[in-house]
Amino acid sequence: MLVLSASLFLLTSLGMGLFISTIASTQQQAIMSSSLIATPTFMLSGFAYPIRNMPIAVQYLTYLNPLRYLIEIVRGIFLKGTGISVLWPQMLTLLVYGMVVMGLAATSFRKKLD
């Protein structure tokens, strides 16, 4: 189950990277954009700081962060021993998020080829 969840997260991360690379015009711009996205993603994941201690507006913003869902899955598997019957909403969210981002990257790539 952990491998499946990690694969869903990798699908999402790969989609975000492809989307950034199709939008950026140079390699430097892509590197800067990805580094500007990576730091807030890590900080808002709930790994470094608990989400419940963040301001309410930021707590709602963390729902857009795919790393939040992977952290919840990993904590559920390793610390609580829960299975797919409990963690399916997070896995479904990662799947939907990954498909949307990959779709955006594909359409952006097609537009760039034309």
What does the alpha-carbon distance between residue 91 and residue 72 come to, in Å, rounded to a whole number? Answer: 10
Q: What pLDDT score was predicted for residue 111?
A: 74
Mean predicted lDDT score pLDDT of the chain: 92
Q: What pLDDT score was predicted for residue 109?
A: 86
In the predicted model, is pLDDT for residue 114 greater than 70?
Answer: no
What is the per-residue pLDDT across 38-93, written as a single tens digit (0 to 9) for each?
999 999 999 999 999 999 999 999 999 999 999 999 999 999 999 899 999 999 99
pTM here is 0.87
In the predicted model, is pLDDT for residue 105 greater than 70?
Answer: yes
Mean pLDDT in residue range 18-44:
92
Q: What pLDDT score was predicted for residue 103?
A: 94
Which contacts of 85-93 are long-range, i.e. CB under 8 A and separated by 24 or more positions?
Answer: 87/1, 87/5, 90/5, 91/4, 91/5, 91/8, 93/69
What does the alpha-carbon distance between residue 60 and residue 27 come to, in Å, rounded to a whole number? Answer: 32
Mean pLDDT in residue range 95-114:
87
